Amino acid sequence: MKGSWIKSSRERDKIKRKNFMAVGFLLQLQESLKIALQSIWAHKLRSALTTLGVVIGIVSVTLMNMTIEGLGEAFRSSISSIGADVLYIQKWAWFAGEDWWKYRNRREIKISYAKDIKERSTYAVAVAPTVFNRSTVRFGSNSMENIIIVGTTDEFIYTAGASVEIGRFMSEVEVKAERPVCVIGAEISEKLFGNVNPIGRDLKIAGRTFRVVGVLEKQGKFLGLESLDDRVYIPIGQFMRMFPWRTGATIAVKIKNMDEIEEAIEELRGIMRTLRRLKPWQEDDFSVNRQELLLNAYNQTVGVIGAVGLGITVLSLIVGSIGIMNIMFVSVKERTREIGIRKAVGATQRVILMQFLIEAVMISSLGGVIGLIFAVILGFIVDQILPTSLPLWVVFLSLLISVIVGIVSGIIPAYKASKVDPVESLRYE
Amino acid sequence: MPLIKLENVVKIYDLGAEKVYALRGINLEIEKGEYVAIMGPSGSGKSTLMNIIGCLDTPTSGRYFLNGVNVSDLDDNELARIRNKEIGFVFQMFNLLPRADALHNVELPLIYAGVPGDLRKKMAREALEQVGLGDRLHHKPNELSGGQRQRVAIARALVNKPSIILADEPTGNLDTKSGAEILALFDELHSKGNTIILVTHEVDVARHAHRIIRIRDGMIESDERVVDKIIARKG
């Protein structure tokens, strides 16, 4: 019995030494994970409270990224509906900022300019004036309130970057003759007509009857906020008769070639200045807007969300790290004896360091996971106001941040633990 | 080659204002398979000597050869590996991990030695069986009696097949009966070829050893073989 025990122990010694380097690290990692879990579980409330700062930080960073991603996605899908090669002549500059009064006092853009621009411009391939108003639309007993009615011309289909799903867009003749025809958005078709084919049907707009000639393809929400599919398009002459008090128009100009956009803008400004009869020393009293400006505004919005989010994140993560560091110091103090025992039986400084570091990282990661869950839940609420999206990299980034917080806040306590003197700590009661 | 060889080992604690001479030049040799008791009143330096022999501490001057290796100027991590391989500690206060069961406590040195899971569990179980706790593998320390706890600690000390089993007042916290059982276990381990160094201040305990070294004021006062061992055990 005794003999075989010693003999086999020698063999074991051999195995031990052979495996020491390879298996050792993994074993100790496994042991460290086990200890960390035990320790966190033994102090459930303490651990939960400790994670609070990290939870808030991770909620903040995740929601921030979700919103920025969501806005970005919405923006990218919307940007095609205002094509890069389309210029918008408007009273207002997009995202005017502080010069509000200047724009306020400008004269309205007249619909008739569209015709003049079309005649004079060498860069324009399509020019469409558009005017908006809200009204009720009705089909049989179904009705929808507060629907945007767009008065425009046949060229709108070229400037809007939309395409027709069924039927056709209004024709030049229909626009000129101001015929009571309309083209409807996909959502109007769905909600008002249901399974009925709307082509050739009569739609009542503000009490007047329009024949539906086409349905536009689904375009989705503009910037994820405003639906482009619940609109009705009618000839601009009809619109002016129905809503004569609305005179402010937008003139969309699609240009031939993207490379000539600067020249096109200059030409349009010249044409507009002539139409407005501006003296050479007078400023433009109109704006030529382009997609790039929208991009700027988008970047600004994202920047603000980013800055606020980053601020909250950094602040709460600092608070979180200090919390974890504090609790880790307590943990090291409480377990001085345990450290001594482990060292006495052969734990090296590195092993002890790793053990406490892993514990800090686990507490922090726990906060990260809880934070992620909260962020996803809160995301549904934020979705009502701003579009959100949760790509995988956002999840990984949040988890990575929580791991880094754990390492940063755990390293000093862990170092302290690794330096515990076994002689002192075994005497420690 | 002796298992342990101390050459003029001096340990001085520098407490700032004064220097405490804990050991004032110890020369000592212990052979493999010996059962040695180190005795001395508190403050004699026997704890310091034990810490140095156990590689928990290093001498201020002098040399300590363990298995022919000079361990007196190794760094902390190297000492940890030496302790893991060569030394099995048994403490007065048992020093078991309170949240771990008996088996895991015994596994601990093997974990740090890098012994993989199944083999480790098997070795730990065998060690516990050897100390008569084969039926208490999954009891936590607070579910065991003092004597049983000390057996777990002995199993832990044995499991890595160390060169020395170093016991510091192993019966100090036990009742007479449990203490006697633990000492009987040490006798048995010694008879199986283990080298045992026992630190104690009780003469009855020291008499289980074959050699008694008395320490006083940081020096070896006497070093004698126990001749009346059989008689002492019978009595």
Residue to substitute from A21, A345, A421, interface B, most B β-carbons within 10 A: A345
> Residues 298 to 337 of A: which have CB under 8 A from any B CB?
337
B189 to chain A: nearest residue by CA?
Answer: A2
Tokens of A58: 């991770």
Residues in Cβ contact with B3 at an 8 Å cutoff, skipping those fewer than 6 apart: B30, B31, B32, B34, B66, B67, B163, B164, B195
* Nearest CA-CA partner of B190 in B159, B164, B151: B164
d(CA A80, CA A259): 17
d(CA A383, CA A123): 41
Kind and range of the H or E run holding A339: helix A336-344
Q: Show residues of chain B in contact with A347, CB under 8 Å.
A: 80, 112
Q: What is the pLDDT of residue A353?
A: 93
d(CA A296, CA A290): 10
Residue A185 burial (10 A CB sphere; 0-12, 13-18, 19+): buried
pLDDT digits (tens, 9 = 90+) for B121-159: 999 999 999 999 999 999 999 999 999 999 999 999 999
Q: What is the pLDDT of residue A11?
A: 57
d(CA A203, CA B111): 81
A25 to chain B: nearest residue by CA?
Answer: B114
Hey, are the CB atoms on B76 and A349 less than 8 Å from each other? yes
Gap from A339 CA to chain B (nearest CA, Å): 10
pLDDT digits (tens, 9 = 90+) for A340-351: 999 999 999 988
pLDDT digits (tens, 9 = 90+) for A312-369: 889 989 999 999 999 999 999 999 999 999 999 999 998 899 999 999 999 999 999 9
Interface residues on B facing A, Cβ-Cβ cutoff 8 A: 51, 54, 56-57, 76-77, 80-81, 83-85, 89, 91, 93, 95-97, 99, 108-109, 111-117, 119, 123, 126, 156, 160-161, 192-193
Mean pLDDT of B212-218: 92
Q: Show residues of chain B in contact with A350, CB under 8 Å.
A: 77
Mean pLDDT of B112-128: 90
Q: Show residues of chain B in contact with A42, CB under 8 Å.
A: 99
pLDDT band, very low/low/confident/very high, at B74 (cuts 50, 70, 90): confident
Q: Tell me, what's the ipTM?
A: 0.91
Q: Which of A13, A27, A338 sits opposite B116 (nearest CB)?
A: A27
Contact of A255 with A264, CB cutoff 8 Å: yes
Tokens of A404: 């880094």
Hey, are the CB atoms on B97 and A9 less than 8 Å from each other? no
Hey, are the CB atoms on A346 and B192 less than 8 Å from each other? no
CA atoms within 13 A on the CB side of B43: 1
